[in-house]
Amino acid sequence: MGFFYSQFFATPSYPKQSFANQTVLVTGANVGLGLEAARHITRLGAARVILGVRNVNAGQAAKQDIEKTTGRSGVCEVWEVDLASYQSVLAFGDRIAQLPRLDVAILNAALATETFQTAEDHERTITVNVISTLLLGLLLLPKLQATRREVPSTHPRLSFVVSEVHAWVKLPEWRADKPMQKLSDPSHAKMTERYPVSKLLEVLLVQELAGRVRGSEVIINMINPGFCHSQLTREAGWTMWAMKLVLARSTELGSRTLVAGGAAGLESHGSYMTDGHVENTALSPFVRSDEGRQAREKLWLELSPILESVRPGIMQTV
């Protein structure tokens, strides 16, 4: 399904599936798609909704807003996590591990910037959108698996919010010994393409992760919400503002796709969802090619020792 057709003619279904008794995590939940997804999930009866946010004050405001609009108090909790800091991600993951259960995790937090900065020895977008996001996913996996064993009535989901823009860029750096390290070299950093490149890396690595985890234990999927009004592009200029006026979905419409991913069935395991449905043909030709498979394997080999250095033994979970 083409980008323009999706933006103008496809309407993601209004979420109706119950989340009763479930514990759900949404990162980047203080604004935009994450906030609206958390609102839907609270409305749909979740017992506990954890708002993973970098800005706690904004998270508290989001919590109050959700409670006011849904009429449900005492459901949302605001937990701090900064994906630019491995220690913050570790602390957050360890806190999640203490929960009695975790049914759904929607990893939505991301960064879009054209300013080159480093965080944890990599360019900041790579750290936030790729390395820390996969780190968090692996930290959550044992609790999701345990929930599946202990609560047979639930089938936990781990959903990664990606983007169709992964198909708008090439990745010649995949041929390097360490592609993410090369992308973190200022001389190879085309920051105007950095967000799409980060989403391409994320797609490839999530595919690899899903291939290593049985869908019968945890459903792992990727969600493309489409081009939406959100805070993600707040650093962009007037061109992006004009594009949003013409093309962008409302934040609420886009958030429906996140909820769909968090409620999707086994058919979505390892798959790419767009407009709330599995649509693997919408993945870029590169991702579906033999070169894409080679890039995926090379990226996993680069990622593994990075994550092992942050949390020894973490790669034994997959």
Count CA within 13 A, CB hemisphere, residue 185. Answer: 8
For residue 300, CA distances in Å to 91, 122, 141 come to 23, 16, 17
The CATH number corresponding to 4-8+18-309 among 3.40.1210.10, 3.40.50.720, 3.40.50.2300, 3.50.50.60 equals 3.40.50.720
Task: State how far Cα 259 lies from the chain centre.
Answer: 12
Amino acid identity at 103: D
Ranges of the chain whose pLDDT falls below 50: 236-238, 240-242, 244-246
Supply 19's token pair. Answer: 């989340």
Supply 109's token pair. Answer: 């937090």
In angstroms, the CA 56 to CA 248 distance is 28
Residue 238 exposed, middle or buried by CB count within 10 Å (0-12, 13-18, 19+): exposed
pTM of the model: 0.93
- 52 pairs with which residues across the strands? 27, 79
Do 129 and 199 touch, CB atoms closer than 8 A? yes
Residue-level pLDDT at 241: 43
In angstroms, the CA 122 to CA 180 distance is 8
In angstroms, the CA 229 to CA 134 distance is 25
Q: Which residues are catalytic?
A: 195, 199
In angstroms, the CA 291 to CA 4 distance is 27
Residue-level pLDDT at 235: 52
Given strand 48-53, what is the order of strands in its sheet? 76-80, 48-53, 23-27, 104-107, 157-161, 219-224, 272-274, 277-278
Do 80 and 53 touch, CB atoms closer than 8 A? yes
Count CA within 13 A, CB hemisphere, residue 219. Answer: 25
Count CA within 13 A, CB hemisphere, residue 177. Answer: 0
